[in-house]
Chain A
């Protein structure tokens, strides 16, 4: 239970970071923290205490095993997260070239 609670804390820290920080790179770091919190939660969903790897062989009696699906899904989600982070960092670098700053209060050509 404590692990789930810490997941929530991590998620909230990430959200706070995205919402409150003024530096573009810190916002990207915040996004990363949110992604990690969700991935951690997903991995926890499949966790079983003292479970073993779900490998099927002829003479095995399977009693308590870890659910492998969330791990596969988390791997996919990490790869997607990597793509998004790479793209956003690339955009942030181009913004720095154009505006000469990472401060979002100074990057305000759009009214939005």
Chain B
């Protein structure tokens, strides 16, 4: 069975259903969303197993039976399925967490509707094989996330959402402009067909121009450093499950994945673009971590670390060598696990204690053991302490830098990692260790569903380390092979349609 369209149909259908009945039956929105996310997670693992058994590692679906380039197509290859597993895994755990957490807001069903729309957009961006269709899904995910950032409708949240929405729509306009220029040059919108057409026409002068437009557009969605200003406001302002989704997967599927897919598989990446990617990656890595060290707002600190960690991912992918891309994608997976976990931890503290200020916490370890231990695991993962997953992916990226002869970037990657460790030691020291304040004697651990969701993520932090073993590494390496294969993608996809 072809599972490709289900990744869009299921969340979209659930959003529709929840918006219809959620208002009248209180628990129905919880049930529908959790069941839908559980099915999606199962489907993405099922697709993973199918893709492995197909010789070309490619699953294509023609919408309405129209053959491309006339119709819109969906293409799932190893890279897409890697992203699908990441997105749907986080989405499932986040919905489990939201059941209790979102009780403090009114109109929970509106939250689930927007959440499912955002998931539709992200899954759509990942599986589509058509450039304009990608833009449409990207806008669906973006608009849902603008609304979700403002979900609390307090003044800070509205301000952050307005800023995010303005910058996001300017970025979308740049992306649309890039698509228009590309269409006028190649007369096609199908990505595989476009790649073939660009190869047939030889080196094009418009490619650098369009690459810059896409770097600005997708770079803003991914919060690379010159375009990062919205992230430290928007991510902390959203409700904690949404912060986990935004930092965990949205900036990666909308930003890094889309950028990498277009630059590597459609344009065929050049040395100039690679060095720009590496530079932006290293810059985000350092600027993000320097800004994070001085923060005292827990969620804002985490948001700056997202900028820094996305820098590692882009640096890894920008190296362009197979090892570098592997490290970058592996870090993308790991970061989505431990950063969602950290945001869920911050949400648990907000839920029980009611503050995000690190000064006002302290000694929570004895009252909230599950939150404290899971956040310790996540902090060690993000800081790169063995045997947690963050250590291995950072190590691979640093090795890849040395292997390609970029010793400077390798050095700065180590510096960034040390500063990350420092700032998470601060978090642990001020939030969980130390003496418990007098006012905090009646603090309780969060409800069971939230604990389970955090505990599962913490276990994955440890288990994901096994992905470096040769027996399991296929999950990441086959995804990296799609990117390092470059324009081979076009031949494979157009072959699959015949």
Q: Are B162 and A24 neighbours in the complex by a CB distance under 8 Å?
A: yes
Mostly, the B contact residues are helix
Chain B, range 66-107, C-beta contacts under 8 Å to A: none
* B31 located at the interface, meaning its Cβ lies under 8 Å from any Cβ of chain A in the complex: no
- Whether A88 pairs with B173 at a CB distance below 8 angstroms is no
Tell me the complex Cα distance, A24–B132, Å: 30
Assess the A94–B165 pair: CB atoms within 8 A: no
Write out the residue numbers on chain A whose beta carbons fall within 8 Å of the beta carbon of B391: none
- For the complex, what is the distance from the CA of A10 to the CA of B30, rounded to whole Å? 47
On whether the beta carbons of B139 and A110 are closer than 8 Å, the reply is: no
Which residue of the partner chain, among A41, A77, A91, contacts B162 with CB atoms under 8 Å? Answer: A91
Give complex CA distance A83, B237 in Å. Answer: 22
B460 at the interface (CB under 8 A from A): no
**Chain A residues within an 8 Å CB radius of B189:** 69
Using A24-B162, A38-B180, A94-B153 as known contacts, say yes or no to A76 and B229 having CB atoms under 8 A apart.
no
> Measured between C-beta atoms, what is the minimum distance from A63 to chain B in Å?
18
How close is A73's CB to chain B, nearest CB, in angstroms?
6
The winner among A24, A42, A88, A110 for most chain B CB atoms within 10 A is A110
**Given the contacts A98-B155, A112-B232, A18 and B176 also touching, CB distance less than 8 Å:** no
Provide the bound-state CA to CA distance between A40 and B118, in Å: 28
Please state if A42 and B176 are interface contacts (CB–CB under 8 Å).
yes
Contacts of A42 in B (CB 8 A): 176, 180, 183
Interface status of B115 (Cβ within 8 A of chain A): no
Query: For residues 131 through 181 of chain B, which have their beta carbon under 8 Å from a beta carbon of chain A?
Result: 132, 135-136, 139, 143, 146-147, 150, 153-156, 158-163, 165-166, 169-170, 172-173, 176-177, 180
Q: B173 and A34: CB pair below 8 A?
A: yes
* Assembly CA distance A38 to B139 (angstroms): 15
User: How far does the alpha carbon of A39 sit from the alpha carbon of B278 in the complex, in Å?
Assistant: 33
Instruction: Out of B150, B154, B159, B176, name the residue touching A77 (CB < 8 Å).
Output: B176
- B24-65 interface bits toward A, Cβ cutoff 8 Å, 1 = contact, 0 = none: 000000000000000000000000000000000000000000
Q: Are B176 and A38 in contact (CB under 8 A)?
A: yes
**B445 close to chain A: CB less than 8 A:** no
Q: Are B176's CB and A98's CB within 8 A? A: no
**C-beta contact mask, A70-81 vs B, less than 8 Å → 1, else 0?**
100100110010
* Chain A CB within 10 A, most for which of B146, B156, B159, B163: B159
Instruction: Kindly identify, within residues 58 to 112 of chain A, every residue whose CB is under 8 Å from any CB belonging to chain B.
Output: 69-70, 73, 76-77, 80, 83-84, 87-88, 91-92, 94-95, 98-99, 107, 109-110, 112
* A-side contacts of B2, CB under 8 Å: none
Q: Are B158 and A88 interface neighbours, CB within 8 A? A: no
A-B contact pairs, 12 of them (CB 8 A): A18-B166, A31-B169, A35-B169, A77-B135, A80-B139, A80-B143, A84-B165, A87-B143, A88-B169, A91-B162, A95-B158, A95-B159
